[in-house]
Structure 1
Amino acid sequence: MEFVVMVVDTPEQSRLLESMFKDLDNDRMHFRALAVGQAAVGWQFKGTRPTKIILAYDKPITENERKWEREVVAKLGYKGEHPTRETLWIKIK
């Protein structure tokens, strides 16, 4: 099971991406989008935590943004590094 989470700048981007990819969800792949500042406590799908995390948001500038990144993005996947976790930085405009 691939559980892919893309982190984007705004809730609008998040909703747009989820609406685009919802038809692709199946038994082998599940896609979710998360906006900067959004809580992601306990994110999992059928017992699987995110296996891939795509970072597509501006690098954090303020201390609150950095704190959110440490507390949410860093904990989206498994504690520490998981062998299947890939983190990719891309920019969507």
Structure 2
Amino acid sequence: MMRTYFAIVHKDPGSAYGLEFPDVPGCFGAGDTFEEAVKNARDALRLHLETAAELGRAPPHIRSFETLMADPEIRNLAADRPLVGISLLEELAPGE
């Protein structure tokens, strides 16, 4: 089973791509290309979740796209930026 975390894509002219996960504070990925940023974001998310599990911490709650966009802070942050879903196999993303 797949679990999908949404990430906000950041890209300013002349800069690298950045993806940040609103539901996983401090977890992000970056890259010179969009594909590289997605790969790095997926790797960072996997590492974040694995580390949390090793420390006995529950994984962050995953909000649906609709719930994320209903949050005024997220809606403002993502106003002119796309959101992408980053999926992990459930065995790589411990259950809630």
TM-score, with length taken from structure 2? 0.29
Per residue, is there more helix in 1 or in 2?
Answer: 2
TM-score, with length taken from structure 1? 0.30
The structure with the larger Rg is 2
